[in-house]
Structure 1
């Protein structure tokens, strides 16, 4: 249940970032470019400015909600994640050793194979989603730059806002907690490598 909830919460934030990226792709669609030449107080220019502001406000709201959500996840689930990541190498190592020991005796230990698979998946899921979120968050800055703001006159109306979002999007998005490295596939790879090293050491001294 814990991994299931964690999976859906992180995936929800991932798709929110995807919505942000898609919104940047259509931020200038359907608007009259010619209003950029009109006086600042012209009604048509004001109407377009309001439309752009609403679109940007929606993007910023979604973007900030992801950062707030990840901060809450780090605060609430940080301690269990630290425990899960710190002891995963030892647990996986012992399960591998038990499986290998039984195989040496010609016995396939189904129970420990299932436990090993579950422990690996339980570690892989948050690490994989953490990497997905990190990469998707950096894609927001790219989407912001490639939305065409520098190719249309309407970009003048949102230049400052776009620059602020781009700077904000450069901030890494990751689940952090005291004693927990950035939750990513690099963390998963490191823990599994440690487990395999411990496993080899135990096998040598067997």
Structure 2
């Protein structure tokens, strides 16, 4: 057991990876991230004949579509029968499962943006391992933190999928142990499935439906792991670019001093020009990557912002309502907590991203560029102005993606929950 824990810690801390010297392959460094992209047919840069996007992703889409339709049928049945408990539970799962369809469709439509991300990561690693060697230690500290965050997120998502299946089996075992043949209770399912003119409680339909629900939960968590891990790496890579720009701005006038010698003046001017060109290239690259991120994730973030409050409210209400009737809904409790966590993470990351992008302006102010000649002043002013702009993640009718918005949405969910329970 001790040896296994030691191996896990070694893997988590990358103790067997030497990134202090030589070239570091970014796709080996972030191996879980790259392997997930390969699995989802988003990128396989080492394969000259990459596989089709379909196959696995088509299976994921079909399973999610079937589960969404069945849950919507349950929701409609709840409306017809005025079953508030079924309405809230089926409505919650319909929203959650429809999100998976949106994730898969966005992935399919935005393949060029994913490729741009991979190219940007590869280019940045090449720069740090060559021209930017002096920033290697700082840069890879941030990359190691990115790796650790991804591992924690993958473990969390996998744990949620496994826990939902465990709860489903425990519920079934408990039902079998306590079921009275004279009662009309039906065997439990992971999702509140209902199909017209079909009795899902009878064998073998029940067994098929039970396994379908469990597989759907596992596949959903698998798909969400891909989405969240890619989002984490993407935002952290933009932050890493902002750090490189800040470090280079701090070094812009290193070994440069006022002089009356013409040759020295020309040398310093050329040196500053080369350094400034490098800074501008990195700054433009950062915004290109930020725009690609917005193209892929803006719709998803807006959807999360829209559904987070009602989803938390409905799941919490359903848990409380079932608890009043003596039934504990562990699966819905997991769903409620997971919704809060997975909405909190992008809110935290985007808040930190905005701070980092704005910090480029502070780095410019920390550089005495007024002593560097009139040539670079307009560029410095342009960089500062651009760094102070809002992130391209806003849309009419929506709020900023931030911790403040997360807090407002959770407060709204709590208020709605109290209104329903009143």
TM-score normalised over the length of structure 1:
0.83
Which residue does the alignment assign to 2:367? Answer: 147
Which residue does the alignment assign to 2:401? Answer: 183
Structure 2 SS opposite 1:13 = helix
Q: 2:299 aligns with which of 70, 79, 85?
A: 79
**How far has the Cα of 1:107 moved from its partner?**
5.4
How far does the alpha carbon of each residue in 1:15-73 deviate from its partner, in whole angstroms, 9 at most, with x for none? Answer: 21122112211111123x134x34xxx44322222221222222222222222222222
**How far has the Cα of 1:179 moved from its partner?**
4.7
**How far has the Cα of 1:178 moved from its partner?**
5.2
Unaligned runs of 5+ in 1: none
- 5 Å-filtered alignment, 1:11-26, equals 11-26=236-251
The answer on 1:168 being equivalent to 2:393 is no
Q: Which of structures 1 and 2 has the larger relative contact order (alpha carbons within 8 angstroms, sep 6+)?
A: 1
Q: Select the structure of larger CA radius of gyration.
A: 2
Q: 1:120 aligns with which of 340, 344, 347?
A: 340
Which residue does the alignment assign to 2:416? Answer: 198
Distance in 1 (alpha carbons) for counterparts of 2:267 and 2:327: 75
Which residue does the alignment assign to 2:279? Answer: 59
Q: Is the 8 A contact 1:130 1:174 kept in 2?
A: no
Distance in 1 (alpha carbons) for counterparts of 2:327 and 2:333: 12
Q: 2:265 aligns with which of 45, 49, 71?
A: 45
**How far has the Cα of 1:119 moved from its partner?**
0.9
**How far has the Cα of 1:203 moved from its partner?**
0.9
CA RMSD of aligned residues (A): 2.2
Which residue does the alignment assign to 2:310? Answer: 90
How far does the alpha carbon of each residue in 1:137-186 deviate from its partner, in whole angstroms, 9 at most, with x for none? Answer: 22111110012334xx4355533322222222222224234554321122
Which residue does the alignment assign to 1:34? Answer: 258
How far does the alpha carbon of each residue in 1:78-131 deviate from its partner, in whole angstroms, 9 at most, with x for none? Answer: 222222221111111111113333444565533222211211122111111111
Matched length = 197
Structure 1 SS opposite 2:258 = helix
Distance in 2 (alpha carbons) for counterparts of 1:133 and 1:2: 18
> Closer, same or farther in 2 for the Cα pair 1:62/1:106, shift >3 Å?
farther
Q: Is the 8 A contact 1:94 1:199 kept in 2?
A: yes
Structure 2 SS opposite 1:176 = coil
Q: Is the 8 A contact 1:174 1:182 kept in 2?
A: no
Which residue does the alignment assign to 2:3? Answer: none
> Closer, same or farther in 2 for the Cα pair 1:57/1:108, shift >3 Å?
farther
Distance in 2 (alpha carbons) for counterparts of 1:5 and 1:23: 27
> Closer, same or farther in 2 for the Cα pair 1:96/1:77, shift >3 Å?
same
Q: Is the 8 A contact 1:75 1:177 kept in 2?
A: no
